[in-house]
Amino acid sequence: MDDNQQDLHVDEEVNETEVQEETESTTETTETSELEALKAELASKEDQIIRLSAEIQNINRRNQTEREASAKYRSQNLAKAILPAVDNLERALDIEVDDDASNSIHKGIEMVHASLLQAFAEEGIEVIDPKGEIFDPNFHQSVSAVPAEEGQQADEIVQVYQKGYKLNDRVLRPAMVIIAQ
């Protein structure tokens, strides 16, 4: 081989080496960028999993709270429907009786009234009978006001027209009252 051919041969080998190095460098860069992209995608998916897990926990907590509230106030609608009947029984008990037949009916009405109040108590329903208390708009509804007599405070409840009822901490019906001013 002559010198020109040898130089050409060496130049070709150098060019092949450079091309190989460039290819390897490009391959390494591509692999590195692919690796970085995969790492970023993995971090994104992990973040998404954490967020979805937190959302599921929030949904479960919200459902638990709603179930507890539903159980706590399950008898609210029934109680509201029965309250007028209890009021009528109380009005019937206020009537004076003077003969044995009326006494028997009165006693029966007392027993029905007592059993309804017992059922209310078992469900957590309490009577709001505020005579003598200070007016509280959260539990009472003022229907009238009268001048305060001696010994009465302003906003003191002097008469109850209709008893109120509450279920646990929720007012089913405010007491209808007359207050002193």
Residues of the chain above pLDDT 90, percent: 54
Q: Do 167 and 88 share a structural domain?
A: yes
On whether the pTM is more than 0.85, the answer is no
Q: Tell whether 35 and 111 lie within a shared domain.
A: no
Q: End of a domain among 72, 89, 121?
A: 72
What does the buried/exposed string (b/e) look like for 94-130 if buried means 16 or more CB atoms within 10 Å of the residue's CB? eeeeeeeeeeeeeeebeeebeebbeebeebbbeebeb
Instruction: Identify the band that residue 18 occupies on the pLDDT scale cut at 50, 70 and 90.
Output: low
46 shares its domain with 123: no
Number of domains in the chain: 2
Is 25 in the same domain as 103?
no
Q: So what's the pLDDT on residue 63?
A: 94
Give the tens place of pLDDT for each residue, 65-86: 989 887 777 888 888 999 999 9
Q: Which domain holds residue 10?
A: 1-72
Last residue of a domain, one of 28, 49, 72: 72
Q: What average pLDDT does the structure give for the chain? A: 86
When pLDDT is cut at 50, 70 and 90, the band that residue 88 belongs to is very high
Whether residue 49 is found in the same domain as residue 126: no
Q: Indicate whether 83 and 60 sit together in one domain.
A: no
